[in-house]
A and B are shown apart, each in its own frame.
Chain A
């Protein structure tokens, strides 16, 4: 067994025979010709044929992977029409009196080198597009074919690199996965793989010879590994995982698009927790009703200086627009304790969990807080954003937040900057907040219970300390009673209450939460459909009678 590592662009497991994809060797000879007119006529004919092919690919991609991804073939058509490219080909043919194949190959090389030399990742990727159209022309001109022998069973395709046109031409039913030596995670090929939902790896350093070709292989898209000629044990393990995934996928199909409603008609909002804008695809795939916790701190943690209002605005706007009218709850900056950012220059603390963190930083550094609030209020004009403030312990804190919010809105109004009116809620993650939740409920639009911190503070147990595991009970009645009280107090004040901590995804508690009247659960995208299944199968009245 041989094991190679690559970068995964789509997860999933593929097991099957490996087929090495070889590009048609475009051996272009430079030959002298006398009739340049006839040569250029051949070029025109080849261009016409290529445009036709690209139109066909565009139509195919449009159906399979959507307009945004199909657009590349439209761009390829425009490249074929490019003045500079065509002039270069014609010049070479005329001035050197050589065959058009040579002129196309030389021009393609020059232009792709130009893109490859640019100081921008995106533009460097475009070198592959130029190569792709040049090869297409050459294939037509020489009449040579490229690609792989027609497979009689679905295979794992291994290639040096795949041009977008090659990827889309692969017969989907015959492809289990593809693995490339080159290519980046934002190449078109990677994007197409994601849209086609097949496991794929790029940047995998494996040899493209007989040690791989025709061998049995396993691609694990979750770890980015390809096993060539796997041993029995690995094969058995991966087969089992593949079964599990298949099962999950089936569940997904039957549960997608259904409302989260119990047998006796109680509804639940099932939202997703995300920590990064990259997670949005997972949110859509798992049919989340909204985003229940967007951890804005990643924007701060990924940078080495304070993110600007504009940077934040663009991110929030993108999330709001992507979710298209579904609720997006963005939690304001929650750093401190275990999440540290050098440029905040925070002093060392003896007890950071009980220290300078989250809303406490925001209220003592209003300039940092205001930047984020301005971005959030502006982005609210583009979708249904809700703002959530973490680590609240008192009504005074909310009053102070409201003063700052009023200042931010006045500033935006003065600058004639458009903004929306987002819902504003708080996290209930301190025992203090839970105990006074009746008072807090009068001040805000919603509650979201952060069970991780609430449990830690209530039980006075540090989760990081494994020695304390025997004392730790995530279902401790103290915590469950608090949740129940918070939900009751929310409903008395006419607001909704949800749970966004790890406990929300605990499937053994889903029925209990329904019985408490919890309005929303925000969980990792992968947990949404399994919980939906429980909701659909629950009769809350019967459950209450039986507990």
Chain B
């Protein structure tokens, strides 16, 4: 399992558009990708779940990657987060 911590820098937080793009990116991998904010954890393969975290600018989220291609997923998704959120 791999883990990636990230503090949101986007002014609007994880709003609909990036949430959708994130889900799209995650679906390209077989591994399970989950995102946690505070006490709540959601599956990154569902847009509503990701949006329901309501992650705002300055808040930390933790992504976990588990599965056969977790390395590649970690690389791609952490890059996505840094570039888009």
A83, B42: Cα distance in complex, Å: 11
CB-CB under 8 A from A71, the residues of chain B are 16-17, 20
| CB-based contact B54/A114 at 8 Å | no
Q: Whose C-beta in chain B lies nearest to the C-beta of A124?
A: B54
Interface range on chain B (Cβ under 8 Å from partner): 20 to 34
Residues of A within 8 A of B47 (CB): 75, 78-79, 81-82
A74, A83, A115, A119: the one contacting B51 at CB < 8 Å is A115
The answer on a CB contact under 8 Å between A75 and B20 is yes
Neighbouring A residues of B51 by C-beta, 8 Å: 115, 123, 126
Of B13, B16, B48, the contact of A111 (CB 8 Å cutoff): B48
Residues of B8-64 at the interface with A, using a CB-CB cut-off of 8 Å, are 11-13, 15-17, 19-20, 23-24, 43, 45-49, 51-52, 54, 56
Does A118 touch B at the CB level, under 8 Å? yes
Q: Which residues of A contact B11 (CB under 8 A)?
A: 314
- Mask: chain A, 77-90; 1 = CB below 8 Å from B; 0 = not: 01101111100000
> What is the CA–CA distance of A119 and B47 in the complex, to the nearest angstrom?
18
For residue A68, give the distance in angstroms from its CB to the closest CB of chain B.
8
Please give me the residue from chain A that is nearest to B52 by CB atom.
A114
Given A82-B46, A130-B48, A75:B54 Cβ within 8 A: no
Expressed in whole angstroms, the Cα–Cα distance for A115 and B52 within the complex equals: 7
| Contact, CB under 8 Å: B17 / A83 | no
CB–CB B54/A123 < 8 A: yes
Is A129 part of the binding interface, using a Cβ–Cβ cutoff of 8 Å? yes
| 6 tightest A-B CB contacts, nearest first | A83-B46, A78-B20, A75-B16, A78-B47, A82-B46, A84-B46
The distance in angstroms between the C-alpha atoms of A151 and B45, with both chains bound, is: 43
B23 to chain A, nearest CB (A): 6
Query: Which A residues are CB-close (under 8 A) to B54?
Result: 118-120, 123
CA distance A129 to B54 in the complex (A): 15
Is A78's CB under 8 angstroms from B23's CB?
yes
Contact B24 A78 (CB under 8 A): yes
The answer to whether A301 has its CB under 8 Å from any CB of chain B is: no
Q: Give the chain A neighbours of B20 by CB distance below 8 A.
A: 71, 74-75, 78
- A selection of 10 A-B contacts at a CB cut-off of 8 Å is A75-B17, A75-B19, A78-B23, A82-B48, A83-B45, A83-B49, A84-B46, A85-B46, A120-B54, A123-B51
Known: A74-B17, A79-B48. 15 other contacts (CB 8 A): A71-B17, A75-B16, A78-B47, A82-B46, A82-B47, A82-B48, A82-B49, A83-B43, A84-B49, A114-B52, A122-B13, A122-B15, A123-B15, A123-B51, A130-B48
List B contacts of A79 (CB < 8 A).
Answer: 47-48
Q: Name the residue on B nearest A87 (C-beta).
A: B46
Q: How far is the CB of B9 from chain A (nearest CB, A)?
A: 10
Q: CA of A74 to CA of B47 in the docked complex: distance in angstroms?
A: 12
Q: Given the complex, which residues of B lie within 8 Å of A141, measured CB to CB?
A: none
What B residues does A114 contact at CB under 8 A? Answer: 48, 52
Cα A406 to Cα B56 with chains together (Å): 36
Q: Chain A contact residues (Cβ within 8 angstroms of B): what range?
A: 20 to 34
Residues of A within 8 A of B52 (CB): 114-115, 118
Report the separation of the CA atoms of residues A74 and B15 in the bound assembly, to the nearest whole angstrom.
13
Say yes or no: is A408 at the interface (Cβ < 8 Å to chain B): no
- Interface residues, chain A, with chain B CB atoms under 8 Å away: 71-72, 74-75, 78-79, 81-85, 111, 114-115, 118-120, 122-123, 126, 129-130, 314
Give the one of B11, B23, B47 with max A CB within 10 A. B47
* Inter-subunit contact A72/B16 (CB<8 Å): yes
Residues in B neighbouring A82, C-beta threshold 8 A: 46-49
Compute how far the CA of A288 lies from the CA of B8 in the bound complex, rounded to whole angstroms.
34
Which chain B positions have C-beta within 8 A of A115?
Answer: 51-52
- B18 to nearest A CB, angstroms? 10
| Chain B residues within an 8 Å CB radius of A314 | 11
Given contacts A72-B16, A78-B20, A83-B43, whether A120 and B48 have CB atoms under 8 Å apart is: no
**Closest chain A residue to B49 by CB distance?**
A84
Q: A126 contacts B49, CB within 8 Å?
A: no
| Shortest Cβ gap from B82 to chain A (Å) | 17
Distance in angstroms from B13 CB to nearest chain A CB is: 7
What residues of chain B lie closer than 8 Å to A119, measured between beta carbons?
A: 54
Q: How long is the Cα–Cα vector from A71 to B18 in the complex, in angstroms?
A: 10
Is B13 a contact partner of A85 (Cβ separation < 8 A)?
no
How many angstroms between the C-alpha atoms of A122 and B14 in the bound complex? 10
How far is it, in angstroms, between the C-alpha of A114 and the C-alpha of B52 when the chains are bound? 8
Rounded to whole angstroms, the CA-CA distance of A111 and B46 in the bound complex is: 13
Question: In the complex, A115 Cα to B46 Cα: how many Å?
Answer: 15
Residue ID in chain B nearest A318 by CB atoms: B11
Give min CB distance, B46 to chain A, whole Å.
Answer: 4
CA distance A123 to B55 in the complex (A): 10
A160 and B24 alpha carbons, distance in the complex (Å): 34
Distance in angstroms from A314 CB to nearest chain B CB is: 6
- B12 x A122 contact (CB < 8 A): yes
CA distance A126 to B51 in the complex (A): 9
Q: Which of B17, B24, B48, B56 contacts A84 (CB 8 A)?
A: B48
Question: CA A126 – CA B11 in complex, angstroms?
Answer: 17
Q: How far is the CB of A545 from chain B (nearest CB, A)?
A: 55
Contacts of B16 in A (CB 8 A): 71-72, 75, 126, 129
CA distance A391 to B49 in the complex (A): 53
- Chain B: minimal CB distance from A94 (Å): 19
